[in-house]
Structure 1
């Protein structure tokens, strides 16, 4: 009897020891690894949340970018809704001097803009345009126009290469607004139509895309000396006093004033220097209005490889032009401004 009890006690004690050891080991490993496992699970959960949140933000951003046009009721790459035929239109006056290829691109583009009522090409080259070129460009205007009433098209041919003829009066215009532009400058239709709406709010002033600045820079030989500043001067100073006629709206009456009321000495100077007719026009309009021009924020594309502004010594010639024309004009009518017209529908924040 005692032998049986002894065997039982040994077995029970042996089983108890193995279970105890397993429990002890389990408790040891659990106490060692449990915090690390909990931390790992927390990090994994946080990463999943961040990943899901990031994907959600990305999807919302893509959706909003693709749909913002419909939310706001406008399409950036299409002609601006600002323009409507009931508000009238404008005549595009293209200064041609760089060749038929650029002229063709320019005419085709501006014919496609909804606000274009007429296209006039100021032709001052030695040889007149060929009949084939005239006929071809008329076909281009007709095919590119998106309106029922097609823009009229005409070459204004000058018998001599006289720079002042760029602003020669045009008799058969149906609109008051002139958009003066070089043949190598393309302004997208949406920006052009917005600038036209800005001009309609101030039709006596000059409204354009290329701002420039002037400032008094001491004296030379006892005479006040003014500096002409390009785009970087405008950017640095946050102000401008001119917009160039290479891409600008103004009233057609200024063509007549430039031709008949501008001091002959200034016209002679422009013809002799073959430069700075745009500065002369800026002074003329500023003197007539006593107000600054309006700079419109917008994209423009220069489709030629280079222009006058890229030539060596251009800045010095512009400084000389500005001071000479001011001297001949007898006053400095230019007014500085820091106002910029922006189409709020094409800005993320307003």
Structure 2
């Protein structure tokens, strides 16, 4: 055993040398083979505790940063909801059925009714729709709001006017005489959330090249041509999701000549919107498989010469857009849980 008599004061060189030798001797004893197991265990515990402390600190920092970048709860909730934009005209019975159906669907934030009649909606109609929404909306969720957007003139462009006070990015554009199930609506909305600049809908149509040359001409392809070929380049806005920004673009950025053509022809506002979206995205829309139920009488699509008029619209819009922006696709979104083959 080494005994050192160390007194207070500044140690001299000899005492410092003795301390150094003592420290070396103790370290040798500490790291001798007899004690190596305990030292290794101690080092392991120290490393483990240090790692845990650093990981906890790092996770705290990452968690703080993540919470900082997350939108507020209200904003996040609105991102998961959509506005139902209902186009109607002198069919209050169909409007009531439409609102009653969609009021029970998940994710509906509000109803905006495009009203283009000489007389404003009656208080009785307004109250009836509010009562229907209160009765049919999903329990445990906030009842959707109801607003009438009243227009002084009957114009097909009214359905794409910008909406004051709109809370959501997503707009579900629908005519008052078509219905789709809430489950299929939810599927389509989730598809739209994955491609927020696209149009996502249930009624596909196609443009077909009819003749080449210096000025190509096109033919409008209805449902049967889509069914036969599996190709489409439009989804009709009579029942489709799109971003609310396109309302602004349609009304204020798209050439006035196109809106004038739609107003005069009383047709093709849906083709004009398809052209607009395709011109912005340079991409096709997305067709969602779902059964669409028509609850009203046949519309203008059943009239003689409808396809010819639609073809004229196509070619006129190609001239005004200075090219064909529509992009063909054969992709179809389906619910794999409900399909035998997918």
* TM-score between both structures, scaled by the size of structure 1: 0.74
Q: Encode CA deviations 1:101-156: one digit per residue, 9 max, x unaligned.
A: 00000011111111111111001122211111111111111111014211011111
- Equivalent residue runs for 1:197-212 within 5 Å: 197-212=190-205
In structure 2, the residue corresponding to 1:223 is in which secondary structure?
coil
Determine which of 117, 128, 135 is the counterpart of 1:136.
Answer: 128
Distance of 2:119 and 2:181 partners within structure 1: 31
Distance of 2:332 and 2:269 partners within structure 1: 24
In structure 1, the residue corresponding to 2:148 is in which secondary structure?
strand
Distance of 1:286 and 1:87 partners within structure 2: 23
Determine which of 248, 263, 268 is the counterpart of 2:255.
Answer: 263
Distance of 2:229 and 2:83 partners within structure 1: 33
Aligned twin of 1:333: 325
Structure 2 residues without counterparts, runs of 5 or longer: 1-75
Aligned twin of 1:166: 159
In the TM superposition, residue 87 of structure 1 has moved relative to its aligned partner by 5.8
In structure 1, the residue corresponding to 2:283 is in which secondary structure?
coil
Distance of 1:346 and 1:86 partners within structure 2: 28
In structure 1, the residue corresponding to 2:216 is in which secondary structure?
strand
- Equivalent residue runs for 1:263-342 within 5 Å: 263-342=255-334
Aligned twin of 1:184: 177
Distance of 2:286 and 2:237 partners within structure 1: 12
In the TM superposition, residue 217 of structure 1 has moved relative to its aligned partner by 0.6
Q: Mean alpha-carbon deviation: is it higher for 90-99 or for 243-252?
A: 90-99
Would the aligned equivalents of 2:198 and 2:286 in 1 still touch at CA under 8 Å?
Answer: yes
Closer, same or farther: CA 325–140 of 1 in aligned 2, 3 Å? same
Distance of 1:272 and 1:322 partners within structure 2: 15
- Equivalent residue runs for 1:48-197 within 5 Å: 88-147=80-139, 148-197=141-190
Residue 231 of structure 1 pairs with residue 223 of structure 2 = yes
CA RMSD across the alignment = 1.5
Structure 1 residues without counterparts, runs of 5 or longer: 1-83
Would the aligned equivalents of 1:98 and 1:183 in 2 still touch at CA under 8 Å?
Answer: no
Larger-gyration structure (1/2)? 1
Distance of 1:114 and 1:218 partners within structure 2: 46
In structure 2, the residue corresponding to 1:227 is in which secondary structure?
strand
In the TM superposition, residue 349 of structure 1 has moved relative to its aligned partner by 3.4
Distance of 2:316 and 2:256 partners within structure 1: 14
Would the aligned equivalents of 2:160 and 2:250 in 1 still touch at CA under 8 Å?
Answer: yes
In the TM superposition, residue 157 of structure 1 has moved relative to its aligned partner by 0.5
Closer, same or farther: CA 86–225 of 1 in aligned 2, 3 Å? closer
Q: Mean alpha-carbon deviation: is it higher for 203-212 or for 161-170?
A: 161-170
Would the aligned equivalents of 1:98 and 1:184 in 2 still touch at CA under 8 Å?
Answer: no
Closer, same or farther: CA 251–154 of 1 in aligned 2, 3 Å? same
* TM-score between both structures, scaled by the size of structure 2: 0.75
